[in-house]
Every structure is written in structure tokens, then in C-alpha cells.
Amino acid sequence: MIFARLKLWAMGLGLVVAALAASWFGGRKSAQADAKQEELEGYVETRKRMDEIGRMSDADAAREWLRERGKH
């Protein structure tokens, strides 16, 4: 009788511990996914700014652009 109650209590405690561990690991995975999403959004914004500038076909024009940019 005591062993049966003790066994049920231990199984209940085991389930609680398992549920807590599962929610902790799930939260970590969710946080990692959120961080990855923010990183990718930052990449998209940077890429858009890079594409807006366009290409310099002439090295002299590129140097002049850098000089002007440095004055700001």
C-alpha cells in the first residue's frame, strides 16, 4: 500500500519534471528561432540599402563618392 502510493507520487513528480523540462527546451528553441528571424530581417534591410546605392562603373567616380560621403 505504501509502495503503491510512493510509486504513484514518484510517477507524478516525474511527469511534472518532464513537463517543466519540455517547456524550458521549447522556450529556448523559440528564442533561437526569434533571434534567427531578426538576424535575417537585418540582412534584408542591409541588402536593400546596398542595392539602392547601385554600382560604380568608374573607379574615379567611386573615389569621388567616397570623398563626398566622408564629408558628412
pLDDT tens per residue, range 3-47: 788 888 888 888 888 888 888 888 888 989 999 999 999 999 999
Of 48, 28, 30, 51, nearest in space to 40 by CA: 48
19 Cα distance to chain centroid: 25
Work out the average pLDDT over 47-65: 85
Among 37-46, 50-59, 60-69, whose mean pLDDT is lowest? 50-59
∠ Cα 15 20 23 (to 5°): 125
pTM: 0.48
What are the residue boundaries of the structural domains of the chain, listed by start? Answer: 2-71
CA distance 28 to 62: 46
The three three-digit cell numbers of residue 58, written as one number: 568608374
